[in-house]
Amino acid sequence: MNSTRSLFKDKQLLSIYYTAGYPTLDSTLDIAEKLEQSGADFLEIGFPYSDPVADGPVIQHSSEVALKNGMNLHRLFEQLKDLRKRVHIPIYLMGYFNPVLQYGVENFCRDCQEVGINGIIVPDLPMYEYEELYQDIFRRYNISNIFLVTPQTSEDRIRKIDELSTSFIYLLSSNATTGKHLEIGNDSTVYFERIRNMELKNPVVIGFGISNRDTYLRATEYAHGAIVGSAFVKLLEEEDYLNKIPDFISQIKT
């Protein structure tokens, strides 16, 4: 299993997000394996939640279908028991805090470690709550907590995030929900350059609005990598989607 730290020696990395249990309950590992074979550098596997407030309609729909298919954290960890027999690139789980809390934070981190998950992205877990209540648990199981930065995040808070981070920092391209097309105008340029000029110790990856080669290249001018989510989840709606994944990746990276 490759560590993300060694991965970030390179730049212009591509991460792909998709929802566990979508389009079918048992498709999670098949998609991960095909993405690695096709050239994705690391992955974010979303665990579905009934109230995904930060997600756009495409990912909301995938969560609804996944829940109807029977996906939950217990079933996901069962599926992931064979993860590291088939997939070797870094993998992060992404979702909302309520399912993690119901599962038990220590149980969650322990099971992440057992199946080979590198870290988690939980947008609605407050930084102070993580630091005071959960940081020791995450460290005990060697699970990175990925923090999000938005255009409104203050420099002091970003510095604090940089101190607490052990993998990468997730830079939101805007305050919009997922699925919005990335437009790098003057405001975005100032924002991205401000982050770059801070010379943070952790690598930065840009997400939200990355959908094709043009937006990927624009984002990676300012960051170590970019995350494609909604555009890939749309592909999973198509017939024979597994065989279409190599072309999808190559059109972005090459």
User: Annotated active-site positions, please?
Assistant: 44, 55
- Residue pair 192/218 in contact by the 8 Å Cβ criterion: no
In angstroms, rounded to a whole number, what is the distance separating the alpha carbons of residues 127 and 159?
12
> Which residue do the tokens 């090459």 mark?
254
What is the spatial distance between Cα 212 and Cα 253, in angstroms, rounded to a whole number? 9
Q: Is 3 helix (H, G, I), strand (E, B) or coil?
A: coil
Angle at 62 between CA 216 and CA 105, to 5 degrees: 90
CA 172 to chain CA mean position, Å: 11
